Structure 1
Amino acid sequence: MNKLLAIREHLSAAPHRSFFLAGALQGVLTVLWWVFDLTGRYGIAGSMTHWSIAPTWAHAFLMVYGFFPFFIFGFLFTTYPNWMNGDKVKPREYVTTCALMATGVALFYVGVLTHKAIIIAGIELMLIGWSIAVYVLFRILLTTPAEDKRHARVTSIALLMGWLGVAAYLLWLVTENQVVLNFARHAGIWFFLLPIVLTVSHRMIPFFSSRVLANYEMVRPYWMLWLMLACIAAHGSLQWLELSTYLWIVDFPLAGCAIYLSYRWGFLRSFSVSLLAVLHFSFAWLGVSMLLYGVQSLTYMLSGNMILGLAPLHALGIGFFASMILAMASRVTIGHSGRPLELDRLTWVLFLGFQTTAVLRILADIVPTIAPMLYVAAGLVWLTCFGLWAAKYAPVYWRQRVDGKPG
């Protein structure tokens, strides 16, 4: 009993602990379920299983709204008070949020196996938890005297868009209206995830780089951030309106800005410090993914062919989003557990191995003749690398800091 109480106390000692633990578990469970579905669907192992909703849309929701948000909320609950010199988030607020969202995700799985009504109940719980998070973070944003709130304003608006995306998915489950489903799909990527991950990268990567690289010039052009966010909003709107012919107009400038920032932030220099290199490596995927989007859109306009399929989406979702989650979560976990800010060899190898997931999933769309095998291979590599990462870091969240300090 005392041990259980100690675990509960440690899990609630800082916002990132419970959220990162839930995210680590979900990063394994959602892909494990997806690989199980794929192997049955393509007759690789077992037979096709019948789910209460289309597995493609279940997979999309679980990845976009049921995996990444745990890490995002854990990070923002920690950084908002630091960014703006505000009051710390209260334990009851972040523990309640995490518990509601984790319970909601658990019900989602149960509902996929049994009945859509249980999925609806799960998403309602997730929305309640998300609402608490939005309230708490907006309270910090609006009540602190900090002069520079630019990054926080962007991430706060993106969190609202994420809430709307979850609500739209819920509405689709109730009404089966395809328009709201399309909004939920595109809002999750373009109005929620990408603005947040880009904005956090814009704030943190130059800062972290300046702390460890000698004679480092910290470049953080806000005009470029606003331009990139405008391109992102335009891309999401065009996709939602099914105007893919014109995406290249905003995708190529977005790719150019991302590649420029990678260069100015010191991509090559970062490899002298592995804990920094994982952040730069992850960010480089943004430029790659937007180039792929631009090439696909321009080709579609000229020939009517979508030559790359979902390759650009997975370069963005796995290459940029998931890699950045691994990189940022590793750094936060190491730093906030009282350990030296150094990336050990295993984590570095797991991160590099995880990049294979993105490459395999991209190849699946480029080489469709062997796509099913590549789908499953990508999932298995994800499970191996992310699973080992979770096994290594999950115990940190329910244990005391090694330096004995609170938090």
Structure 2
Amino acid sequence: MNRLLEIRDHLSAAPHRSLFLAGALQGVLTVLWWVFDLAGRYGLAGSMAHWSIAPTWAHAFLMVYGFFPFFILGFLFTTYPNWMNGDKVKPREYVATCALMAAGVVLFYVGLLTHKAIIILGIELMLIGWGVAVYVLYRILLSTPDQDKRHARVISIALLMGWLGVAAYLLWLVTEDPTMLNFARHTGVWFFLLPIVLTVSHRMIPFFSSRVLDNYEMVRPYWMLWLMLACIAAHGSLQWLELPAYLWIVDFPLAGCALYLSYRWGFLRSFSVSLLAVLHFSFAWLGVAMLLYGLQSLVYFASGNLILGLAPLHALGIGFFASMILAMASRVTIGHSGRPLELDRLTWVLFLGFQATAVLRILADIIPAIAPLLYVLAALVWLACFGLWAIKYAPIFWRQRVDGKPG
């Protein structure tokens, strides 16, 4: 009993602990469920399962809204007070957020096996938990003294858009209106995840680089950030309006900006410090993904053929989003557990192995003849790398800091 109380106290000692733990578990569970579904669907193992909603849309929700937000909120609950010299987030606030959202995800899985009504209840709990987070972070944003809050304002708007995306998904479940589903799908990627991950990268990657690289010039052009965000908003709007032939107009400028920032931020130099290199490597995927999006759109504009399928989406979702989450979560966990800010060899190997997930999933759309095999193989590589990462890092979240300090 005392041991359980001790674990509870450590999990609530800092905002990232419980949320990162939930994210780590969900990063394994959601892909494990997806492997089970894919293997049965394509006759690779077992038999085809019957779910209460279409598995494709369940997979999309679980990845976009049921996995990434745990890491994002754990990070923001930690950084917002530091960025703006605000009051720390109270334990009851971040624990409530985690508990409600985690319970919602559990009910989502139960509902997949039983009835859609249970999924609806789960998403309602997630919306309440997410709403607590929005309230807390907006309170910090609005109550702190006047200062440079540009990054925080962008992230706050994107976080609210994510909440609206979950609400739209809930409305789709209730009404079966495809407009709501499309809004939820495109909002999750283009108005929630990408603005947040890009804006955090714009703030943190040059800062981290300046701390460890000699004679480093910190380049952080805001005009380029605004241009990139405008391109992202335009892409999301065009996607929602089903106008893929015109995406290249904004995708190529977005790709150019991302590749330029990779170069100016010191992509090649970063490999001298592995803890920094994982951030730069992850960010480089943004330029690659938008080039793929632009190429596909331009070909569609000229010929009406979508030659790459979902390859650009997975370059963005796995290559950029998931890799950056893995990189940032590793750094935060190491630093906030009192350990030296160094990436050990195992984590570096797992991160590099994780890149194979993105490559395999991209190849699945380029080589459709063996796509089912590559779908499952990509998911298995994710499970192996992310699972080992979770096994290594999850115990840190329920243990005391190694330096004995609070938090």
TM-score range, shorter chain: over 0.9
Letter in 2 for 1:25: L
Matched, 1:373 2:373: yes
Q: Deviations over 1:175-223 (max 9, x none)?
A: 0000110000000000000000000000000000000000000000000
Matched, 1:291 2:291: yes
Within a 5 Å distance, the mapping from 1:232-247 to structure 2 comes to 232-247=232-247
3-state SS of 1:351 partner:
helix
Q: Which residue pairs with 1:394 in the alignment?
A: 394
Deviation at 1:327, TM superposition (A): 0.1
Moved over 3 A (4+): none
Within a 5 Å distance, the mapping from 1:8-407 to structure 2 comes to 8-407=8-407
- Distance across 1 between alignment mates of 2:130 and 2:195: 17
Q: Deviations over 1:328-378 (max 9, x none)?
A: 000000000000000000000000000000000000000000000000000
Deviation at 1:146, TM superposition (A): 4.1
3-state SS of 1:13 partner:
coil
Conserved 8 A contact 1:278-1:351: yes
- Distance across 2 between alignment mates of 1:211 and 1:84: 20
Deviation at 1:312, TM superposition (A): 0.0
- Distance across 1 between alignment mates of 2:78 and 2:175: 37
Q: Deviations over 1:128-187 (max 9, x none)?
A: 000000000000000000410000000000000000000000000000000110000000
Letter in 2 for 1:231: C
- Distance across 1 between alignment mates of 2:212 and 2:316: 27
3-state SS of 1:31 partner:
helix
TM-score of the superposition, structure 1-length normalised? 1.00
- Distance across 1 between alignment mates of 2:305 and 2:139: 48
Deviation at 1:32, TM superposition (A): 0.2
In structure 2, the gaps of 5 or more residues are none
TM-score of the superposition, structure 2-length normalised? 1.00
- Distance across 1 between alignment mates of 2:329 and 2:88: 20
| Residues 396 and 146 of structure 1, relative CA distance in 2, 3 Å threshold | farther
- Distance across 2 between alignment mates of 1:179 and 1:241: 10
Conserved 8 A contact 1:80-1:86: yes
- Distance across 1 between alignment mates of 2:11 and 2:146: 29
Letter in 1 for 2:160: L
- Distance across 2 between alignment mates of 1:255 and 1:113: 41
- Distance across 2 between alignment mates of 1:116 and 1:53: 7
- Distance across 2 between alignment mates of 1:180 and 1:232: 20
- Distance across 1 between alignment mates of 2:97 and 2:160: 15
**Number of aligned residues:** 407
Conserved 8 A contact 1:206-1:265: yes
- Distance across 1 between alignment mates of 2:197 and 2:146: 22
Deviation at 1:265, TM superposition (A): 0.1
- Distance across 1 between alignment mates of 2:84 and 2:46: 53
- Distance across 1 between alignment mates of 2:233 and 2:14: 33
- Distance across 2 between alignment mates of 1:377 and 1:363: 11
Conserved 8 A contact 1:85-1:146: no
Give me the identity figure in percent.
89
In structure 1, the gaps of 5 or more residues are none
Letter in 2 for 1:309: G
3-state SS of 1:10 partner:
helix
3-state SS of 2:206 partner:
helix
- Distance across 2 between alignment mates of 1:240 and 1:50: 29
- Distance across 2 between alignment mates of 1:327 and 1:262: 16
- Distance across 2 between alignment mates of 1:392 and 1:364: 30
Coordinate RMSD, CA, aligned = 0.3
- Distance across 2 between alignment mates of 1:243 and 1:167: 24
